[in-house]
Amino acid sequence: MNNQKPKKKSSALLVVFIVLITNFITFLFITSFGISFGNRSVIAVDNAYTAKKVNKLLYLYDKLNDQYITPLDKDALWEKVYAGLFEATDDPYTMYLDPASFHSYKEDLTGNYSGIGVRIAPGEDDLITVVTVFRDSPADKAGIRTGDKVIIIAGEDATTWTVDEGASKMRGEPGTVVEITVLRAEDKINFTLTRAQLSVEAVEGTVLPGNIGYIYISEFSANAADQFTSLLADQLSMGIESLIIDLRNNPGGDVNETLKIADRILGDTMIIYTKNNQGKKQEFHSSADESLQMPIVVLVNEYTASASEILAVSLKDNQAATLIGTNTYGKGIIQTFHGMMDGSGYKITVEKYFSPSGQNIHDFGVKPHLVVPLPEGVSYIYGKVVFDQDTQLQEAIKYLTK
């Protein structure tokens, strides 16, 4: 009996020790990985680093709301927090989109939206630059021109804004008014515009003398590939013997639409390949179902960007077309976008794309076979240079008829 008593005592001490250790570990887990918001709730996160940083954010949020001299808009504070998280990447294409901006972004992909009727891109000076004015749009009727620099939108300085931010501010419900200021040469010009519902035709074309088909693709919005295929079929039935594809001032759009158009033109070959942040490679191939067997020229310029550069470089690398114009913009990265329950969303750069030969497009662009700049001071009609002044188009016609 005397030999068993110490064992019972030791067992009891062991149980107490295990309970204490368990409680201590639980305490450490909660304090390390739990985020307290005052005394109201606890949020679980998956690591101590995140818990520490978010605890600090919530502490600062409480202090700001408690001590600031005037009441603050709490929703506005949080919107800035979300936006700042994405801005810290220093990637202008990775961004948080508030509900209004996300709605506008989704509209842009369809080609149907309410706004003033311009297509914009970042200029060489990084200012928001008008590259196309849509026919009969509010901007067209007011006298906005290709090349105008948008510097003020709705009373706010837009000189540091991204194109997405500028587009979102210029859009809104039909019938609502927005005031903008543009810089034209040295002059600042104010416009008061009433937004309207717009439907942008992404693909248009004609048949030029010499049986040359001409197809202008303004953007790769929804159904752009179907529009291209249909128009091409019409032109083929009219007996075209060569083709000009005009990608000038095309900011890109849905990469899937680009791949479909490339598939219609190319035979069984690689269009592009991509790599993600882990170096995983994914190849995109066209099928052997059909290809376009005729001389092709692709017109490009400094505003040919993103998805339009994919089409241009894939045709160039596969020796399916001759590129004429000036060096393209140089956006060789791909974003995915996602919506959230409250109507907001976000875009994240997830891949970099490369030409079939391995050319990195990002920040470099695509160099045309024949470099042909436009003369200074050319005139534009709805985003396209007046024919008599369009040295790039004339060079393309000359090349195909020589």
pLDDT at residue 206 is higher than 80: yes
Cβ-based neighbour number of residue 158 at 10 Å: 20
In CATH terms, the superfamily for domain 201-401 is 2-enoyl-CoA Hydratase; Chain A, domain 1 (3.90.226.10)
* Locus of tokens 């976000």: 346
- Identify the CATH number of the domain defined by range 112-198: 2.30.42.10
Kindly state the helix (H) or strand (E) to which residue 253 belongs, with its residue range. Answer: none
How far apart, in whole angstroms, are the C-alpha atoms of residue 8 and residue 364? 78
Answer whether 105's CB lies under 8 Å from 337's CB: yes
How far apart, in whole angstroms, are the C-alpha atoms of residue 189 and residue 183? 6
Give me the pLDDT at residue 16, please: 47
What is the DSSP code string of 147-199?
T-EEEEETTEE-TT--HHHHHHHH--STT-EEEEEEEETTEEEEEEEE-EEEE
Q: What is the pLDDT of residues 104-116, one digit of tens each?
A: 888 777 777 789 9
pLDDT at residue 192 is higher than 80: yes
Residues marked as catalytic: 306, 317, 331
Q: What is the pLDDT of residues 323-358, one digit of tens each?
A: 999 999 999 999 999 999 999 999 999 999 999 999
pTM over 0.95: no
Point out which residues pair with 205 in neighbouring strands: 215
Cβ-based neighbour number of residue 210 at 10 Å: 11
3-state secondary structure of 278: coil
Mean pLDDT along residues 232-236: 96
Residue 172, phi-psi category: left (phi > 0), alpha (psi -120 to 50), beta (remainder): left
Answer whether 261's CB lies under 8 Å from 343's CB: no
Answer whether 323's CB lies under 8 Å from 368's CB: yes
Residues in the chain: 402
The token pair at 100 is: 């209004």
Mean pLDDT along residues 285-301: 91
Chain-centroid distance of CA 127 in Å reads: 17
Answer whether 262's CB lies under 8 Å from 249's CB: no
Q: What is the pLDDT of residues 249-276, one digit of tens each?
A: 999 989 999 999 999 999 899 999 999 9
Q: What is the pLDDT of residues 10-62, one digit of tens each?
A: 555 444 445 445 554 444 444 444 554 455 556 667 788 888 898 899 999 99
What is the DSSP code string of 202-213?
-EEEEEETTTEE
The token pair at 164 is: 């997405």
Q: Where are the domains of the chain?
A: 17-72, 112-198, 201-401
